[in-house]
Structure 1
């Protein structure tokens, strides 16, 4: 978990040629030789975010927060699409990118990242799952700052993360999985402070 925190600021560089390593080796082919089918290496979560136009606002927020997604895992990222940031309450949307609220931004982004890989097929009913976000000095009783994210699958098959709807599930990456969501959700301590209202 700490490697995740200290090891997303260099995310933009991760979309380089190394995003897809395609080694090939020759094989016999009727008297001649041809290249074998490439072994494709999937993009990492950081690389996928950097190259997905639906996540350009998320990438901007990741850079502002100084988070690095280049190591560790596997993770599950409930990634808010661009329109999710626009749907935030105006007061919160206008403040979250400011320097004095950098801790809120960082906490919020980490609250969207689970400490394990969870594809849509792994979810049946509902379950509370722990996120990368932790407030180690918070000793208050539940509900506390460390309330987990509730992930659930509705009768229609739609997956939810807290109040956010998963609009595109299961973008499989080398170090985990991304689910695109339609809403930004906040850790309990910041939600109670009015950021989600």
Structure 2
């Protein structure tokens, strides 16, 4: 454990952390691994409804902040159902791509950039929205444009096309 977050070792023999009761295999892509996580069924359904499966299965690399099912359940009642309607696909794509950053950023690198920058580090998602990493009490949080905070609960789940960091809240773009 480093800074209170489960960071995977960078050695060639390190295993990815388990996510949602499933092994996350480094030779599988983001979508192939996510579908096996019991904690990400809502996210997988949303990615499918948004038509983003092919994108997130592509070469990348991507850094994905992946909200767990309970994060979606914490949204106001009816939000997920509304976003999943075909007529709201553009809004759903915007929300989901606000969780994705181009490139592969490890948890350790994100922590270092944050600490080197006085405790916060701003970056841009593929949707064009801003996120800010912040360290509080040795925990890494990702802050959205509405000041909503998602705690990184599992960092450095390496994929063949990037990395997933599991978060406990949905990041909402403006």
Give the TM-score, by structure 2 length: 0.73
- The answer to whether the Cα contact below 8 Å between 2:57 and 2:161 also exists between their aligned partners in 1 is no
| Deviation, structure 1 residue 92 | 2.0
Match of 2:50 in 1: 65
Secondary structure of 2:33's counterpart equals: helix
Q: Deviations over 1:33-62 (max 9, x none)?
A: xxxxxxxx6221121111111111110111
Counterpart in 2 of 1:168?
Answer: 154
Inter-partner Cα distance in structure 1 for 2:64 and 2:77: 24
Aligned partners of 1:126 and 1:185: how far apart in 2?
Answer: 17
TM-score (norm: length of structure 1): 0.65
Q: Which of 134, 154, 157 does residue 152 from structure 1 map onto? A: 134
Question: Which structure's CA Rg is the greater one?
Answer: 1
Q: Secondary structure at the match of 1:100?
A: helix
Unaligned runs of 5+ in 2: 1-23, 144-148
Paired position in structure 2 for 1:89? 76
Q: Return the match for 1:100 from 87, 107, 129.
A: 87
Q: Which has the higher contact order (CA 8 A, sep 6+)?
A: 2
1:127 aligns with 2:127: no
Aligned-pair RMSD on alpha carbons?
Answer: 1.7
Work out whether 1:112 is the aligned partner of 2:99: yes
Correspondence list, 1:181-196, <5 A: 181-188=167-174
The number of equivalent residue pairs is 137
Which blocks of at least 5 consecutive residues in structure 1 are unaligned? 1-18, 21-40, 135-146, 189-197
Determine the structure 2 residue equivalent to 1:52: 37
| Alpha-carbon distance in structure 1 between the residues aligned to 2:68 and 2:166 | 6
CA offset at residue 153 of structure 1?
Answer: 2.2
1:3-49 deviations in Å (ceiling 9; x for gaps): xxxxxxxxxxxxxxxx96xxxxxxxxxxxxxxxxxxxx622112111
